[in-house]
């Protein structure tokens, strides 16, 4: 098969003074540090345009061979949300009633999760990120996709950051197994559900577990070359 090189264009890169870089880094970190996952959403409507921007932002993620192996399915239709919640809760009841081993249930206990998935019907939008395991060419033949999990994980991270930065909240929910989403949302066989993210304002009385994040020295190891060796 012949391949065509893309034309290259100059990189539009803005060099900033170091003090400005530090200010930006601190401001962005402070903003992201305030992000919390909540399970309690308000049903206050959210402008569709905001969700569109978050998806555009997610779509800037780097991806394996620039194949952009993601489809964002956006649901605000109350009927579909209800069906989705019913199906998710059915699976989760099986999970919490024994499909998840005791060690898993123990790990979740501090977070207070259970089989009730109210966020699916309360949040004004539910965004499901589907991972395109392989691509489909216009003639129906399969095109291998590379690093789809990594690519979708990065896209999800950007989506979450965008949602937080614009003043909304989301939750990364992975109902398990997720096959019911493929059926309900009529996705093609090359797409697998990756993440379900309700989006909206937090409920006025939203509560979150009192979590601590690991400090820098617990999450990073540095080889500075400055030792006495
Ligand atoms: N999918 C279940 C269980 C669950 C698993 C993990 I790992 C979490 O961080 C949270 C929940 C549920 O959504 O309840």
Gap between the Cα atoms of 140 and 144, Å rounded = 13
Return the percentage of the chain with pLDDT > 90, whole number.
95
The answer to whether residue 176 scores a pLDDT higher than 70 is yes
Given a contact cutoff of 8 angstroms between Cβ atoms, the answer to whether 213 and 157 are in contact is: no
Cα 109 to ligand 1 centroid, rounded to whole Å: 10
Please say whether the structural domain 41-203 has been given the CATH code 3.40.109.10.
yes
Residue of 84, 87, 95 with the most ligand 1 atoms within 8 Å of its CB, for mutation: 95
* Cis ω before 177 (30° cut-off from 0): yes
Secondary structure (H, E, C), 1-27: CCCCCCCCCCCCCCCCCHHHHHHHHHH
Question: Which atom of ligand 1 is nearest the CA belonging to 175?
Answer: 1
Residue of 173, 178, 195 with the most ligand 1 atoms within 8 Å of its CB, for mutation: 173
Please name the helix (run of DSSP H) or strand (run of DSSP E) that holds residue 197, with its range, or none. strand 191-200
Tell me which residue has its CA closest to atom 8 in ligand 1.
108
Range 180-186 average pLDDT: 97
Tell me which residue has its CA closest to atom 9 in ligand 1.
108
The structure's pTM equals 0.95
Pocket (CB within 6 angstroms of ligand 1): 92, 95, 108, 113, 173-176
Q: Which of 67, 82, 60 is nearest to 162 (CA)?
A: 60
Cα 174 to ligand 1 centroid, rounded to whole Å: 7
Given a contact cutoff of 8 angstroms between Cβ atoms, the answer to whether 197 and 160 are in contact is: yes
Gap between the Cα atoms of 196 and 29, Å rounded = 25
Domain regions of the chain by residue span: 41-203
> Would you state the pLDDT for residue 5?
87
Tell me which residue has its CA closest to atom 7 in ligand 1.
108
Range 126-150 average pLDDT: 97
pLDDT bracket for residue 1 (50, 70, 90): low
Cα dihedral 138→144→149→155 (10° resolution): -40
> Would you state the pLDDT for residue 229?
52
């Amino acid at each position: 098969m012949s391949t065509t090189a893309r034309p290259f264009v100059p990189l539009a890169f803005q060099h900033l003074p170091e003090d400005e870089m530090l200010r930006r880094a601190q401001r962005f970190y402070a903003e992201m540090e305030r992000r919390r996952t909540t399970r309690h959403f308000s049903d206050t409507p959210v402008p569709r345009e905001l969700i569109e921007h978050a998806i555009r932002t997610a779509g800037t993620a780097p991806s394996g061979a620039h194949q952009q192996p993601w489809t964002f399915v956006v649901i605000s239709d109350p009927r579909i949300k209800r069906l989705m919640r019913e199906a998710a809760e059915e699976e989760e009841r099986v999970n919490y009633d024994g499909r998840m081993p005791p060690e898993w249930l123990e790990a979740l206990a501090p977070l207070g999760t259970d089989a009730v998935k109210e966020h699916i019907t309360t949040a004004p939008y539910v965004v499901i990120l589907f991972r395109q395991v392989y691509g489909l060419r216009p003639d129906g033949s399969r095109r291998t996709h590379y690093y789809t999990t990594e690519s979708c994980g990065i896209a999800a991270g950007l989506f979450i950051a965008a949602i937080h930065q614009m003043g909304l909240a989301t939750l990364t929910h992975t109902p398990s197994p997720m096959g019911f989403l493929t059926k309900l949302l009529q996705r093609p066989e090359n797409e697998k559900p990756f993440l379900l993210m309700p989006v909206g304002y937090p409920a006025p009385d939203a509560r979150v577990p009192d979590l601590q994040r690991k400090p820098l020295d617990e999450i990073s190891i540095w080889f500075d070359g400055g030792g006495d060796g």
